[in-house]
Amino acid sequence: MLENWLAPVPSDLLKRSSGLPSTALFHQLRIHTTDFKVPNIESAKVVLIGVNARAANPIREALYPLVHSFGSTMVADLGNVRNQQTAFLIPLLKELIGAGSIPVLIGANASHIPALYHAFQEVRTETSMMVVDERIAFQAEQIESATDYLQELVFHPTNAPFHIGFIGTQIHYLNPEVLAAARLRHYEIVRLGQVRANLAGIEPVIRDADLLTLNLSALRASDCMGIENPTPNGFSGEEMCQICRYAGMSDKLRTMGIIGYHPEADTHRLSAQLQAQMMWYFLEGVHHRKNDFPVTTEGMVEYIVPLKQLDYQLTFWKSKRSGRWWLQVPVKTKKQHQRHRLIPCSYEDYQLAGQDQLPDRLLEAFRRFP
């Protein structure tokens, strides 16, 4: 029973929200309250889960007044977990992911990301992660690290991620040895300046993720002061909201966690409001999903492009539903890698292939397949 894992949303917060206009998201959410059991998740597309109640509840209070414009997309707020330990979270998250819902952790910290990862691994292996962070959070060597939340995952002896993409990294924070270790594993690294120069270009990168981690420290401090590790440079609030919208639109994405909120430093609750808006744009993206994640190529248009320099041909696929593009891996893939054999790409990538060029991002993606 989910009640064993989850405590209801505080009644005083619900009372303050009850007078909101009828257009508010609050009135459309299925909320776990003291009067009612945990909402039925069978029809819930997205489920919100608070981890640390002190951090999660201010985000809720900022989210509830926002306008509901997501049609019939059902969203449930399941309340706050009764225990923040990884071993406690994994079975809860596994049940939610297995039921077809998209669990989103709010009020979480870096130590909770392994729980998201291992829960997904129990439902479906060979996970592709995307991490929005200004740093690469693991060490170059297999050593214990309390601060690098990806350390255990990267060096897991049997269930390491199939792929990790790092979005928004800042070169002055990147240890050269860690950078080399990431590249050795063919992890994707998209620096902050690259994203800001072409924000739309990050959409195919995010579309490749099963799991997304958003570290608020990737935002510049002037846009988000209520965080654990504020820095002067980073994404703007608008850019982070667009990243969340791209994440929501990805049919492949099955779970997400927002980490790094420090409510004691959020004196005017502006950082809580920003997270609420990030969630709003994520929900809007989910509402606009096209259900064209290419498990098969049915409903796709095939384009063959010969590459003279590499002496083989590439197969691109374009979705009839959304107009989005994928590139088929031109090597034989193992059965467990079939979900990843079509790499999200852009129309510009297809055009470059027609000129006998291919971005390094796609060439590196081919090398992930043994």
Q: Which long-range contacts (CB under 8 A, 24 or more apart) does 183-191 make?
A: 185/154, 186/364, 186/365, 186/367, 186/368, 187/163, 188/163, 188/164, 188/361, 188/364, 188/365, 189/136, 189/165, 190/165, 190/166
269 Ramachandran zone, left/alpha/beta (phi>0; psi -120 to 50): left
Look at residues 329, 350, 342 and name the one whose alpha carbon lies nearest to residue 296: 342
What angle (nearest 5°) sits at the alpha carbon of residue 328, between those of residues 323 and 334? 135
Domain formed by 2-287, architecture: 3-Layer(aba) Sandwich (3.40)
Q: pTM of the prediction?
A: 0.95
Domain spans of the chain?
2-287, 300-366
| Residue 290 CB burial class (10 angstroms; 0-12, 13-18, ≥19) | middle
- Phi, psi for 365 (deg, rounded to 5): -60, -35
Tokens of 79: 């309340």
Task: Give the H or E element holding residue 368.
Answer: none
DSSP label at residue 211:
E
Q: Tens digit of pLDDT per residue, the chain (370 long)?
A: 788 899 999 999 999 999 999 999 999 999 999 887 888 888 899 999 999 999 999 999 999 999 999 988 899 999 999 999 999 999 999 999 999 999 999 999 999 999 999 999 999 888 999 999 999 999 998 887 778 999 999 999 999 999 999 999 999 999 999 999 999 999 999 999 999 999 999 999 999 999 999 999 999 999 999 998 899 999 999 999 999 999 999 999 999 999 999 999 998 999 999 999 999 999 999 999 988 876 677 889 999 998 877 677 899 999 998 999 999 987 776 666 677 788 999 999 999 999 988 888 888 888 888 6
